[in-house]
């Protein structure tokens, strides 16, 4: 299931006939079976959690023999527009939190700015690395495909602070907030 796949969503009326979305809880429940032999239980939460990586999971829903990410359906059901050629970003970074105030349209680049720290990171901060030869911390940020050097620091905290300031400047509302 590719987030960018140009797969159109089902007709909104058909979705709303079978599913009910609560924007305050982010939960989508079944309100009608989609077939005669369907194992769906009315009132049951639709879909299941699909673990993508150690730190990222999404809820997926099978509707008319096709898998959809629950956050795309939630956005569509609430706003009435198909976010087909864009990403839907979870502002808090939790792919299972589908409350409407946590979902926003984003470009692929904006969505990537909000991702969690990679597990192979050794500094504990994105964009901060140890330079073995200089014996200093180096801060950098990538913007529109270009690497921007932010400085070389004796203290790791200074390098982290430089990176955070650059995130505010270049990433704005899409920067990671934790």
pLDDT in tens, 152-173: 999 999 999 999 999 899 988 8
Task: Answer yes or no: is pLDDT of 4 > 50.
Answer: no
Contacts of 39 (CB under 8 A, 6+ apart): none
**Cα distance between residue 177 and residue 49, in whole Å:** 24
12-113 in CATH: which number? Answer: 3.90.75
Q: Which two tokens stand for residue 177?
A: 């907030």
Q: Convert the pLDDT of each residue in 31-69 to its tens digit.
A: 988 777 778 889 999 999 988 776 678 999 999 889 999
Per-residue pLDDT tens digits for 63-111: 988 999 999 999 999 999 988 889 999 998 899 999 999 999 998 888 8
What is the pTM assigned to this prediction? 0.76
pLDDT of residue 1: 43
- What are residue 71's phi and psi, to 5 degrees? -65, -30
Return the pLDDT at 114.
74
Contact between 121 and 143 (Cβ < 8 Å): no
What are the C-alpha distances in Å from 118 to residues 76, 82, 142? Answer: 30, 31, 15
pLDDT value at 30 more than 70: yes
**131 pLDDT tier (thresholds 50, 70, 90):** very high
């Amino acid at each position: 299931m590719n987030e960018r796949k140009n797969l159109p969503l089902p007709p909104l009326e058909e979705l709303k006939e079978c599913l009910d979305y609560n924007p305050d809880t982010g939960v989508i429940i079944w309100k009608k079976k989609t077939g005669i032999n369907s194992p769906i239980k009315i009132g049951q939460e639709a879909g299941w959690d699909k673990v993508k990586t150690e730190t990222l999971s999404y809820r997926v829903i099978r509707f008319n023999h096709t898998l959809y990410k629950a956050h795309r359906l939630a956005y569509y059901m609430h706003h009435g527009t198909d976010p087909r050629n864009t990403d839907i970003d979870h502002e808090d970074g939790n792919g299972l939190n589908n409350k409407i105030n946590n979902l926003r349209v984003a470009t692929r680049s904006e969505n990537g700015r909000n991702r969690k720290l990679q597990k192979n990171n050794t500094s504990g901060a994105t964009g901060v690395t140890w330079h073995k030869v200089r014996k200093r911390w180096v801060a950098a940020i990538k913007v529109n495909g270009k690497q921007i050097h932010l400085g070389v620091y004796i203290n790791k905290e200074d390098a982290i602070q430089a990176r955070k300031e650059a995130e505010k400047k270049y990433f704005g509302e899409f920067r990671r907030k934790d």
